């Protein structure tokens, strides 16, 4: 199995090349030429998350030695995840929370970004590459810290992270600006996430800059979900959720399970689609958006329109108007790189595009969508805690709200698994306010009060940020990302 670009099917690369390169030369995203089929019984009999990950990743990372994959997953998904890798928690009768925030940075990005550096280093070895890899990352909040933590002091790698100034919680910002390591850098970008992401994508598409860096023996790569190495590990936890439902006796082998995913860049939910294509009995994939509801509108109408007001919300990791991974889904639906290239060019030049009726019909056979504003998300946080003794963050609350609206509107009796993507203590002020409590100005005092009010301990990885010196305080314009990429 090889990979090719969503905008050029003629250029085939290996899994290692797709991960090392990150983005194709013309700006497209790498997709697999086919989908390997998992043996569901074999997958669900794996004794641990690490063993399950080794099995699934072994299928989607052809060319990587199986012994390496097994060792990498064992080292990644052990102690750092506190024994709760892929932990599925029942919430009520048909509703479950897949808690993906028990890793070292308290967000679901850890599942990919703790193993991705190992995949990159091994990929370079497999390709006989020895150049310096310079990783550029645009983040809406959680990816940045997870990438910094994963790549800290990895030999042969430098990493620069770009986040929207005033677009993250204080805790998210401090996670990045206090990061240690000799090979890391962090920059606040004036504007929103889309400005940062566009700036990074322009660097990857800049062929002259690529030649200049190559002369210095430097290669650009990405740790965003545009990279196959970010997306592939996220497929695993869909299988993990299914396995646990089997173990709990909630389903029988072959029964369908619905998933509701809070998403902005469409990567986390796309991983669920890939799991489905690999044979996991996924029923509906429900896309949950916040007030920036461009994906909701698209999945209902086929019209993608980024020409709209950008809102800063209490779920900042979803504050995105240009969802990069949707491009992959478009290719899988139409299997026409020229069509995808045309739509992406329309988005770049006109700010919108409309897919054809056949493509939309295929999408709607699999995906549903809904959106929730900040007030409704706050109501959901309160209702979840009061009614189910379950504490969740604003992103997860958005998904719970949309999931329950979906279940109320349909007759599906399938279990609904909500992907819980971040610890509530990353957003302590917003969660505390939603619970009807006074909110102190300082987020760390809010963290302490939230723990006291709910009797839920704050993760030490977050509480220990208080008082740590900030290493990075530079604010830049989006256009300066290119200049930074030139300076090593």
> Using 50, 70 and 90 to split pLDDT, how confident is the model at 74?
very high
- Provide CB contacts within 8 A for 446, sequence distance 6+: 428, 429, 432, 439, 440
- The whole-angstrom separation of Cα 382 and Cα 141 is 23
Share of the chain above pLDDT 70, in %: 100
Residues annotated as catalytic are: 109
- The whole-angstrom separation of Cα 28 and Cα 171 is 33
pLDDT value at 410 more than 90:
no
Mean pLDDT of all residues in 394-418 = 94
Q: In what order do the strands lie in the sheet with 282-289?
A: 87-92, 95-99, 416-420, 257-262, 282-289, 367-371
Q: Find residue 73's DSSP bridge partners.
A: none
Determine the distance from the C-alpha atom of residue 447 to the mean position of all C-alpha atoms in its chain, rounded to a whole number.
24
- Around Cβ 439, how many Cβ atoms within 10 Å? 18
Q: Nearest 5°: CA angle at 403, between 107 and 142?
A: 15
Per-residue b or e along 225-237, where b marks 16 or more CB atoms closer than 10 Å to that residue's CB: bbbbbbbbbbbbb
Tell which residue, 272, 274, 434, 477, has the closest CA to residue 368: 272
pLDDT value at 487 more than 90:
no
What pLDDT was estimated at residue 488? 60
The rounded mean pLDDT for the chain is: 95
pLDDT in tens, 198-238: 999 899 888 899 899 999 999 998 888 889 999 999 999 99
Share of the chain above pLDDT 90, in %: 90
pLDDT value at 89 more than 90:
yes
- The whole-angstrom separation of Cα 167 and Cα 201 is 19
User: Exposed, middle or buried by CB within 10 Å (0-12, 13-18, 19+), for 438?
Assistant: exposed
Which runs of E-coded beta strand occur in 148-256? Answer: 157-164, 184-189, 218-222
pLDDT in tens, 106-125: 999 999 999 999 999 999 99
Continuous H helices in 1-65 = 15-21, 40-44, 49-60
pLDDT value at 448 more than 90:
yes
> Using 50, 70 and 90 to split pLDDT, how confident is the model at 486?
confident
pLDDT value at 85 more than 80:
yes
pLDDT in tens, 259-316: 999 999 999 999 999 999 999 999 999 999 999 999 999 999 999 999 999 999 999 9
Q: Nearest 5°: CA angle at 234, between 136 and 115?
A: 60
pLDDT in tens, 345-379: 999 999 999 999 999 999 999 999 999 999 999 99
């Amino acid at each position: 199995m090889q990979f090719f670009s969503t905008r050029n099917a003629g250029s085939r690369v290996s899994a290692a090349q797709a991960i090392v390169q990150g983005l194709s030369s013309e700006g497209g995203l790498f997709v697999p030429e086919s989908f390997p089929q998992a043996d569901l019984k074999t997958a669900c009999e794996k004794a641990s998350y690490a063993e399950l990950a080794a099995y699934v990743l072994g299928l989607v990372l052809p060319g990587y030695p199986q012994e390496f994959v097994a060792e990498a997953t064992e080292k990644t998904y052990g102690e750092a995840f506190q024994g709760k890798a892929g932990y599925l928690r029942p919430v009520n009768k048909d509703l479950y929370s897949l808690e993906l925030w028990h890793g070292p940075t308290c967000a679901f990005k850890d599942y990919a970004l703790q193993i991705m550096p190992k995949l990159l280093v091994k990929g370079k070895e497999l390709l006989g590459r020895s150049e310096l890899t310079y990783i550029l990352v645009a983040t809406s909040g959680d990816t940045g810290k997870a990438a910094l933590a994963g790549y800290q002091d990895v030999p042969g790698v430098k990493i620069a992270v770009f986040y929207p100034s005033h677009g993250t919680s204080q805790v998210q910002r401090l996670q990045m600006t206090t990061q240690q390591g000799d090979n890391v850098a962090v920059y606040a970008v004036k504007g929103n996430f889309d400005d940062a992401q566009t700036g990074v994508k322009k660097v990857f598409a800049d062929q002259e800059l690529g030649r200049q860096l190559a002369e210095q023996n430097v290669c650009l790569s990405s740790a965003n979900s545009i990279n196959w190495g970010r997306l592939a590990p996220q497929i695993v936890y869909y299988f993990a959720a299914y396995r646990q439902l089997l173990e709990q006796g909630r389903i029988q082998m072959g029964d369908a399970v619905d998933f509701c995913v809070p998403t902005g860049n469409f990567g986390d939910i796309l991983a669920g689609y890939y799991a489905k294509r690999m044979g996991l009995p996924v029923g509906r994939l429900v896309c949950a958006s916040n007030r920036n509801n461009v994906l909701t509108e698209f999945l209902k109408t086929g019209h993608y329109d980024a020409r709209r007001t950008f809102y800063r919300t209490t779920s900042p990791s979803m504050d995105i108007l240009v969802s990069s991974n949707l491009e992959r889904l478009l290719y899988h639906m139409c299997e026409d790189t020229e069509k995808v290239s045309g739509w992406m060019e329309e988005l770049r030049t006109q700010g919108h595009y409309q897919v054809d009726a056949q493509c939309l019909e295929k999408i709607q056979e699999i995906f549903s969508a809904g959106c929730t504003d900040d007030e409704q998300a706050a109501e959901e946080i309160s209702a979840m805690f009061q009614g189910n003794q379950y504490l969740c963050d604003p992103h997860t609350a958005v998904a719970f709200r949309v999931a329950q609206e979906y279940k109320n509107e349909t007759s599906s009796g399938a279990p609904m698994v909500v992907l819980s993507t971040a610890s509530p203590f990353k957003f302590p002020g917003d969660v505390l306010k939603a619970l009807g409590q006074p909110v102190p100005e300082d987020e760390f005092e809010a963290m302490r009060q939230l723990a006291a009010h709910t009797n839920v301990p704050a993760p030490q990885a977050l509480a220990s940020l208080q008082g740590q010196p900030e290493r990075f305080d530079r604010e830049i314009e989006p256009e300066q990302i290119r200049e930074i990429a030139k300076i090593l």
